[in-house]
Amino acid sequence: MIPQHLEENLLYRELHLRPINFQRNALGIRNFLDRLGHSKTLKGHEGCVNCLQWNASGSLLASGSDDMQIRLWNVEGKSLHCIKSGHMNNIFSVQFLPSGSDDLLISAAGDANVRMHSISRSDVPYVWWSGGRVKRLAITRADPYLFWSAAEDGFIKQYDVRTAKATSLIEFDQKECKSLAINENRPEMIAVALNEAPVPLYDRRNVSKPLFTVIPGIFYHDIFCHIPISDSSSRHPFRTLSVTHVGFNSLGNELIVNIGGEQIYIFNVLDRAHEPDALQSLNSFIDDPVRNLLSTGGFPGFDKTTTEVFRGERELAKIHFNNEEYTDAINTYSQTILDCEKLCGHDPPRGHPHSMDLCLLLANRGASYLRRLWDGDAYAALLDLIRALKIEPRNSKVHYRITRALIELKQYDMARKISKLFKERFPDDHSCDRLDAVLQTDPTGQKIWTSNGCSDYVQRLCGHCNTNTDIKEAVWFGGRDEYIAAGSDCGSLLIWERKSGALIKGFEADMNILNCVQPHPSILLLATSGIEHVIRFWEPLHEDFKRVQTLPVVSLGALLSAFQGTKLGEQDLKFYSHLVDSREAGRELHRLTALSAANQKRMHTGIFDMVVASMGLAVQGGDDDDVERGRRQSELIDRYLVENITDISICGKILHLLSEDAECAASCRFHSVTILRHFKGQECIGSCLRKQITGATRRERATAGYPEEQTNSIPILP
C-alpha cells in the first residue's frame, strides 16, 4: 500500500522505507498535485520553444527554439548559458549525452543536421547530416556513448560519439519518422513513431522485422481508421493520423503513444504484448460451446443480484448519464470499476460476490461511451461490453449494446452474428428489431479486423487536441508514473490519472499551442513550452497562495470601462496588461469537461470551418446582404490564411481579428494578448475581448451602457 498523505509517508520512512521509495511516494501524493500551479516564467528565447530536456540529476534544463539557440536553465529558472547552435532551422530536440558529465549536448533541427556541443568549451560542434528534418533524439544510460535520431526521411540512425560514426539502423520506405524512445529497463527495445497510427517496436540487435506493433484496436483494418477516410459520410473526411510522441514508463512495461488527430493511448509492451483484439476475443467467446450453452441444456434468466457496496457511485453516475453529462458518468464509473476490481480482480470467477457489481459497472460505462461517441468511444464501449458478457453471458442489455457498438464501428457482419445470437438467447426480447432494420440496409462481406501480431491498448486518455503540430508530447508524471501530462492545441497543460484515465487537472500554459511537457526527475516540477517564446514551471504552491488564485480577476463593468471608445489607447493596454499579469499567477482551468468537449470538436474542424462557425456565418440561407457579407468575410479569411499561413493556430488571432461577436472555447482567453501585440487599435478588438473574457452578451453590454457594434464593419488587415 502506497501512503497518500505526507504524514503517512513520513511515518513509513521512519519505520522501513528506503529513501528512494520515500521520494517516489512523495511525488505521487495527491495533495501536492492539488496544489500544483504556475510558479515561474523563463524568458530568453526569441522564438517558439520546441524542446525541453532535464539532465539526469535535474540540476539543468536544456531548451531548443526556433531562434536556433540552446539555453540552459537551473531549477530556479535562471538562465545559465546560451549556445549558438549553428543550426540553420528550428531546433526540434536536445539531449544531454550520458557520457558527457553534463558538458556534452546533442541537438537536432529542421536543417537535417544533428550536432554535438560542449557547454564549457567554445569548440565548433561536430555535425552529422541527415536526409530530412530530424524530429527527435533518444539516449539510454545503459549505452552512454550511443544515441539515436528519428528523421522525416524515414531513417532511424544510431550514433557512436567514440568513433563519430552514424549508422542507419532502421529504414521505413515512404514513411516519416516523427519520434522514438528507448526502453531504459530493456535498452535493446526501441519504439518508433511514424506518420501513421501503428507504432512498431524493434530489438535493435536484430531489426529485420518488428518484435510486434502496438495500435489501438479501432485502427486494425487496412486503412487504420474506424471511419474510412474515403467515406464521404465521415465526420472528418480529410483527417490523417500521425504519432507525435512515444515514451516508456519507468518500469519499462508500458508505452504511451500520442496520436495526432486522435487520443492518447497506453500499451502494455511486456505482459499483454500479443493479447487478441476485441473482435478476436468476441469470436472466441461466442464460438465456445461450453460458454454458449452454459452446460445447462438451456439458457436461464439473468441474475441481477448486486451488492450495496457501490450503490451510491452507481446512482451518481446515473444522474450524470440522465443529464447527458457522459464524460462525468464515464469518470465516475471508471473510478468505481477500479475500486470493484480491488475486491474481485480484473476477471472475477462466476459466483464471486462482486462479479455482478463489476458486470453492471462495465455495461453502464459502455452505454455511456455509446451515448458520448467521441473518437474511439464505440471501440472502448465494445471492450467494456465484452468483459461484461464474459462475466455474465445472460445479460440481454449487453448483447444489445454490443450490436450497437459493432454497427458504429461498421462491423456489420459481426453485428448480424450477435443479433442472431441475441434472438436465440432472448426470443421474447425485441430490442434488437430496430438494429436489424439498420443491418438490412448496410453492406455485407466487409473484412473483419484482425490484429496480425498487433497489441491493443490498456488505457485511453481523452480531453486534449493534437492536430496542429507534430511534436506534441505526452509524458509519465509522478514517482510511480501515477499521472500523465500532455499539451494541447488549445494551449492547455492537461494531467490525467493513469489508472482511471480521468482528466483531473488543467492549466492555461500557452496563449496558442502547448507542445512540450517535461517532468523533473526527482521533484514535483513540470516544465512546459509551446508557441510562446517562454518556458513555464509548474509546482506545488503554498495553500494560501493557491486560494488567492481562485478569486475573480475583473468584473464586467471594469472591463467595459477599460475598452470605452473605438481605439485602444496606451492606458487601456496598460490596464489589460495588468489583468493578464494578475491572471498569470493562476491559470488553473476548472471546467475540464467542457474543455474536453471543445477539444473533441476542435479535432474535426479545419481552420476555415472554425473561423466561420465562431463568427456565426454558417450557411443557413438569408437575404442578399447577409450572403454578400459572408462572401466578403470568406475572401478576407482566404487572403489572411495565404499571407499568414505560418503564423496561425486554430482559435487564435485570426478568429479574434475577424470576429464581430465571437464565442470561443473557455480556454482561449489568453489568445487576446496576441491580438493586442499584433493588431493594436483595431475597432473589433474591444468587442471580441469583452466576449472572450467576460462572456458578455449583447443585452449585458447594452445594460452597461456600451454602444452596439456596427454589424457591417469588416476590419482592415495590415
Q: Is residue 19 part of a domain?
A: no
**Residue 269: which of 220, 205, 201 has the closest Cα?**
201
CB 607 within 8 A of CB 648: yes
DSSP per-residue letters across 21-44: HHHHHHHT-HHHHHTEEEEEEEE-
Last residue of a domain, one of 394, 410, 441: 441
What pLDDT digit, counting tens, does each position of 334-367 carry?
Answer: 999 999 999 999 999 888 999 999 999 999 999 9
How far is the CA of 375 from the CAs of 133, 379, 667, 679, in angstroms?
30, 9, 21, 37
Query: Are 291 and 177 in the same domain?
Result: no
Say how far apart CA 238 and CA 607 lie, in whole Å: 13
Say how far apart CA 447 and CA 445 lie, in whole Å: 6
Say how far apart CA 403 and CA 411 lie, in whole Å: 9
Q: Is residue 2 part of a domain?
A: no
What pLDDT digit, counting tens, does each position of 489-531 carry?
Answer: 999 999 999 999 999 999 999 999 999 999 999 999 999 999 9
Q: Which residue has the cell 475598452?
A: 563
Query: Are 637 and 516 in the same domain?
Result: no
The CATH number covering residue 372 comes to 1.25.40.10
Residue 268 has φ and ψ, to the nearest 5°, of -90, 115
Q: Is residue 13 part of a domain?
A: no
Say how far apart CA 262 and CA 335 lie, in whole Å: 23
Residue 209: enclosing H or E segment and its boundaries? none
Give me 658's grid cell: 475577424
CB 688 within 8 A of CB 675: yes
Q: Is residue 5 part of a domain?
A: no
Say how far apart CA 532 and CA 419 lie, in whole Å: 53
**Residue 40: which of 73, 82, 80, 81 has the closest Cα?**
73
Query: Are 305 and 423 in the same domain?
Result: yes
Q: Which residues, other chains included, contact 107 with Cβ-Cβ below 8 Å and sequence gap of 6+?
A: 64, 70, 85, 87, 91, 93, 94, 95, 114, 115, 117, 137
Query: Are 62 and 113 in the same domain?
Result: yes
The CATH number covering residue 512 comes to 2.130.10.10
Q: Is residue 217 part of a domain?
A: yes
Length of the chain: 718
Residue 542: enclosing H or E segment and its boundaries? none
3-state secondary structure of 142: coil
Q: Is residue 153 part of a domain?
A: yes
Q: Pairing state of beta strands 474-477 and 483-486?
A: antiparallel
Give me 241's grid cell: 493520423
Q: Is residue 479 part of a domain?
A: yes
How far is the CA of 613 from the CAs of 536, 670, 697, 713, 714, in angstroms?
32, 20, 17, 18, 17
CB 185 within 8 A of CB 252: yes
Q: Pairing state of beta strands 534-540 and 113-118?
A: unpaired
Q: Which amino acid is at 465?
A: C
Query: Are 182 and 41 in the same domain?
Result: yes
Say how far apart CA 537 and CA 62 lie, in whole Å: 13
- CA end-to-end distance (rounded Å), the chain: 62
3-state secondary structure of 633: helix
Q: Is residue 545 part of a domain?
A: no
Query: Are 568 and 514 in the same domain?
Result: no
pLDDT attached to residue 685: 42
Residue 636: enclosing H or E segment and its boundaries? helix 624-643
pLDDT attached to residue 444: 58
Give me 152's grid cell: 522525416
Query: Are 270 and 284 in the same domain?
Result: no
Q: Which amino acid is at 436?
A: D
Q: How many domains does the chain have?
A: 3
Last residue of a domain, one of 507, 540, 573: 540
Q: Which residue has the cell 503517512?
A: 8
Q: Which amino acid is at 582?
A: S
Last residue of a domain, one of 514, 540, 566: 540
Query: Are 684 and 591 in the same domain?
Result: yes
Query: Are 271 and 285 in the same domain?
Result: no
| Whole-prediction pTM | 0.77
Q: Pairing state of beta strands 49-54 and 526-530?
A: unpaired
Query: Are 532 and 579 in the same domain?
Result: no
> Where do the H-state alpha helices sit in 591-623?
592-603, 607-615
Strands (E), 97-253: 104-109, 113-118, 126-129, 134-138, 146-151, 155-160, 165-171, 177-182, 189-194, 199-203, 212-214, 242-248
Q: Which amino acid is at 64?
A: G
Residue 85: how many other CB atoms lie within 10 Å: 22
Query: Are 430 and 530 in the same domain?
Result: no
Query: Are 366 and 262 in the same domain?
Result: no
Give me 40's grid cell: 515561474
The whole domain housing 519 covers 35-276+454-540
How far is the CA of 628 from the CAs of 87, 182, 631, 632, in angstroms?
48, 57, 5, 6
Q: Which residues of the chain have pLDDT under 50?
A: 1, 22, 28, 222-238, 293-302, 547-569, 571-584, 607-608, 610-718
